[in-house]
Amino acid sequence: MKVMITGSYDPITLGHIDIIKRASKLFDEVYVALLINENKVSLFSLEERVEFVQKVINDLKLDNCKVVSDRGLAVDFAQKLGCSAFVRGVRSSADYEYEVGQASINKMLNEKIETLFLVAAPDLAHISSSMVKAVASFGGDLSQFVPKHVEHALRLKYPVQIKGTKI
């Protein structure tokens, strides 16, 4: 079975990585799709985000995972790649409510593509890309939230602050 995991991955977090790893064990082929949302301002370029995700896939030797990107509707892209389902990570009831809404719209657009939920690991459920960027902006420890190569890139975007002064 081919599945797609969509996201902006701005940046990819250990929570995202956990869902990707788990999906890679459950399904024959996993497309990790970075979808471009013109209404969303990204910290990292599409190229940088693809690079971050590809490095994770390579480092973990997830041979059945492919990193792809697209500008259109997720359901159209999934159909084009022959996927029969989306895999979505769910951290909370708020995530679940949002994802059910998305799944309903996707089902209306293409009834052949299902949405499957993986519940976030308890120790990773608090991690979000927004939270990671907030911690990075104050020079906080990122090691429990993102891989090293992403931490390094975040440090370049957010120079370390000491007592309110950038260095």
For 49-71, letters b (16+ CB in 10 Å) and e give bbebbebbbeeeebeebbbbbbe
Residue-wise pLDDT for 51-110, tens only, equals 999 999 999 999 999 999 999 999 999 999 999 999 999 999 999 999 999 999 999 999
Q: Which of 25, 40, 163, 166 is catalytic?
A: 40
Active site residue 24: no
Q: Which of 21, 66, 91, 166 is catalytic?
A: 91
- Answer yes or no: is 88 a known binding residue: yes
Q: Helix (H, G, I), strand (E, B), or coil: what is residue 63? A: coil
Domains with residue ranges and CATH for the chain: 2-124 (3.40.50.620)
Residue-wise pLDDT for 23-56, tens only, equals 999 999 999 999 987 888 999 999 999 999 999 9
Rounded to whole angstroms, the Cα distance separating 113 from 137 reads: 39
Q: Please give the mean pLDDT across all residues of the chain.
A: 94
- Answer yes or no: is 16 a known binding residue: yes
pLDDT of 97: 97
Please give the structure tokens belonging to residue 1. 């079975």
What is this structure's pTM? 0.92
- Answer yes or no: is 99 a known binding residue: yes
Active site residue 129: yes
